[in-house]
Structures are given as C-alpha cells and as structure tokens.
Amino acid sequence: MRHMPAVLVVEDEPSIAELIAVNLRHNGFRTTWAIDSASAQREIDAAVPDLILLDWMLPGESGLVLAKRWRANPRTKEVPIIMLTARGDEADRVAGLDAGADDYISKPFSTRELLARVRAVLRRKAPEPVGEAISIAGLSLDPSTYRVSFQEQLLKLGPTEFKLLQYLMGSAERVHSRASLLDKVWGDHVYIEERTVDVHVKRLREALGAAGTMVETVRGAGYRLTARPLQPVVVAEKTSA
C-alpha cells in the first residue's frame, strides 16, 4: 500500500485549518489538526508526522518558538516544517527560515501553491539514491552514512545544507548561480526565492566552522566550493617615516 504522508496542521483559525485539511486529504495526505501550541505538542508526543504546517501567529507560544523547539529536539529535528504567515516582509521570512523552517507560505495562499510547496518539501526530504563519498581538502561527505567531517571532526548539518554541500562538492571549483542551485538542490523552485539560497549557504558555512571559507561567494555569479579558499588580503599600512 502506498504510504500516505501524515501532515500536522497547527492553525488557530478553523476555516483555514479546514481548507488545508480538505485539500490535503483530497490529494492523498492524512491530516491532524492542532488549534494551539499545547495541542500541537500533544499530537507530536503521540506520533511524529511526516510534515508540519505551522501557523506563525498562534495563541500562547508562537509558531516561531515551536519551530525552534522542534528543531532542537532529536525526535522532531528532521520533520519538515512549512510556516504559514500573514507577515510578508523579508525579515520575518528570514527569521522563519533561521528558526529552522524549510519553507514558508504567505497568507492568503492558493491551495495549488500549498500542495506544490508541501510536495516539494517532502521530495527534498525524501531519502535520495546515495552517491559516492567525496573528500576535498580535509572536508569529507559520505551520503551512505549521512556524515560530514572536517579534519576527522564530525560536523552537524541540516538536511538542506547536507544536500547543498553534496551538490557543491560534487562539482567543486565550478560556480553555480542561485537559480541553478535552486533547480539542482531544491528541485522545485517555482515558489522559492533566490534569497532562500543565501540563507542556507549562511547556515552551511556556520555548520562547517573552519571549513566554511571553502564555500565561496562569487560576486555577481553565485557560489562555489573550492579547495583553495581565498585568504583575506591584508594590506600592510605604510609606516610614517
């Protein structure tokens, strides 16, 4: 039997929750509805869903607080989260992504957009056919064990950052535009802004620590992974005679 993905809908407005649930069920998903953060937590304690649609503005704890908590919990850290938000400005959207959301949908949204984003996020999180282990200048990535290390030290990467790094390492030294990264790493970029790439590159660099400089920004062109990162140029000041 085909697996029916379970979606937890955390939304305090019943009309929106019902609209989402009806459309998801009609398209082969199982849905559970939680009206606030406490009932959402109860649902998650009972069963970990395949995806969470999370309203930003909730009574009590906000969606942002919940997203951060679930990302920090080993039981839920891999569960994709799509934030639903009426807050349209870029700073808010970036805050949502920084809290660990995989994507966001601005209200009002069409049900077609909702389904496209849900499917895209699930596809991105689905196990990929494993590729070869790659090692470049002390940075190693092994898709079969899902491990990344730098100089023998294990690093912790989120699923999108892992995929991004895998792609960059697979074609090291080549420059990739944001649009081509969206296409190759995200797969379905119809509704995703190029700015999203920058957010994940930032997260990837942070996760890589000392190896973060290997992910280079190429001005006006995009990003590349290089074994020979440019060192910051230090211009010696002339000492006054």
Residue 43 interacts with Ca ion (CB under 5 A): yes or no: no
Closest CB to Ca ion among residues 82, 120 = 82
Cβ neighbors of 110 (< 8 A, separation 6 or more) are none
**132/135 Cα distance (integer angstroms):** 10
- 12 contacts Ca ion (rule: CB under 5 A): yes
Q: Is residue 113 a contact residue for Ca ion (CB under 5 A)?
A: no
Element (H, E) at 118: helix 111-125
Of all residues in the shown chain, the one whose CB is closest to Ca ion is 57
Q: Which of residues 49-88 bind Ca ion (CB under 5 A)?
A: 55, 57
Q: How far is the CB of 160 from Ca ion (least distance, A)?
A: 26
Q: Which is nearer to Ca ion, 55 or 103 (CB)?
A: 55
- Say if residues 102 and 124 touch (Cβ distance below 8 Å): yes
Q: In terms of CB distance, is 55 or 161 closer to Ca ion?
A: 55
Q: List for the chain the helix, strand, coil content (%; round to 5).
A: 40, 20, 40
Q: Judged by CB, which is closer to Ca ion: 8, or 182?
A: 8
User: C-beta of 16: minimal distance to Ca ion in Å?
Assistant: 8
**Which residues lie across from 154 on neighbouring strands?**
149
Tokens representing 149 are 């290390």
The footprint of Ca ion (CB under 5 A) covers 12, 55, 57
